[in-house]
Amino acid sequence: MRLGLSTLFSILLAQVSAFGQIAEKAIIAHNSDSISIAPLLYGIERGFYRREGVDLEFRMLRTDLATAAIVSTREVDYMYSAGTAFRAAVRGLPLKIVAYSFKDILFYLMTQPSIQSGKDLKGKKVAVSLPTDTGGLAAKASIRALGLDPDRDVVYIAIGAASVRLAAMKAGSVEASIMPVPWNIRMKQEGFRELVFAGNHLKQPLTGIVTSGEKIEKNPQQVRRVLRGFLRSMRAFKQERKEATDFIGKRFNLEPQVAEEVYKIVLQTLSEDGTVNQEVLQNFLELVKKETGVKKPIALPEIVDYRLLREVAKELDTKG
């Protein structure tokens, strides 16, 4: 009985934040086990969100399912796929991007060793998570850069997460796959070819904190706490080089020198303050409207709302 009470006490104690309050549970989802989730998971593991009073749980979930779970069933509170959320918001879904973690995409078009150039890829199968998500559009941009028509010259196979796409490549059931960092490094080590860095051909912000307009309206304090944890996590990830590199190596099963290489890539693409330049976002908005055929005027603040982020950043800079 004493052991049982002790265990129960430990569980309850773990739910209490540094401010002495019970941590409020919240779920954040992303569709890929890629390096883009590293700062988020680093912050969760280091307890930055819990110290702000949020027991933030990460789940892997396809972006269309995560979107539905936020705006319809409300089984998910936040999503990390800001690029996909941006497109969904343009189409009218009530999503808000409240912070960005990465300024650029981190995808590579990986191919079988036999694929030497664009002409070798014509008529072949390309694995993506979804043709319409950020990875899918990165694949199309890469294929266009190879001189092919991305809508006619290849066949897209939507097969989910990066691990599944790698399995399809190993089985030889697809000739190419769009892969995030650090999967491209693993695949090069196994003999696959790195044909195109999509970040050179598709300029758009990648991941960030996304939630619903309803969440911001009904529970702004939780959003503020998540954003405080987010900013603390980002700052620590940049400043704690050894710890962050070790975390990357452990989380993605990378050798130390590879983890160091990946960390350097991440530092180059991380947002400085959780925002992305207004001009970049406006250009992205016009591109997405064109892609989706949306004609009505859309003001950028309807999709990207930095107000709570800026308030929280000011508080952190003042109080620490």
- Is pLDDT of 268 > 90? no
Cα–Cα distance measured from residue 100 to residue 205, given in angstroms and rounded to the nearest whole number:
7
**Cβ partners under 8 Å of residue 306, min gap 6:** 98, 99, 274, 275
Structure confidence at residue 181 (pLDDT) = 87
Residues 88 and 120 in one domain: no
Please report whether residue 8 resides in a domain: no
CATH at 131: 3.40.190.10
Structure confidence at residue 20 (pLDDT) = 55
Residues 91 and 166 in one domain: no
Structure confidence at residue 161 (pLDDT) = 84
Please report whether residue 51 resides in a domain: yes
Please check whether residue 127 is in contact with residue 241, taking contact to mean a CB–CB distance below 8 angstroms. no
The pLDDT confidence band at residue 206, using thresholds 50, 70 and 90, is confident
The pLDDT confidence band at residue 182, using thresholds 50, 70 and 90, is confident
Q: For the chain, what is the domain count?
A: 2
Please report whether residue 65 resides in a domain: yes
- Is pLDDT of 221 > 90? yes
- Is pLDDT of 152 > 60? yes
The amino acid at residue 275 is T
Percent of the chain exceeding pLDDT 90 equals: 68
Model-wide pTM > 0.85: no
Question: How far is C-alpha 286 from the chain's CA centre?
Answer: 22
131 is in which domain, residue-wise? 107-200
Structure confidence at residue 9 (pLDDT) = 46
- Tens-place pLDDT, residues 21-64: 678 999 999 987 888 899 999 999 999 999 999 999 999 998 88
- Tens-place pLDDT, residues 70-104: 999 889 999 999 988 998 999 999 999 999 998 88
The last residue of a domain, from among 168, 183, 200: 200
Tell the burial category of 319 from Cβ atoms under 10 Å away from its Cβ (0-12, 13-18, 19+): exposed
3-state DSSP of 112-181: CCCCCCHHHHCCCEEEECCCCCHHHHHHHHHHHHCCCCCCCCCEEEECCCHHHHHHHHHHCCCCEEEEEC
Structure confidence at residue 320 (pLDDT) = 63
What does the block give as tokens for 125?
């199968």
Nearest 5 degrees, angle CA 141-CA 144-CA 145?
Answer: 85
Residues 83 and 139 in one domain: no
Residues 312 and 212 in one domain: yes
Residues 295 and 153 in one domain: no
Please report whether residue 9 resides in a domain: no
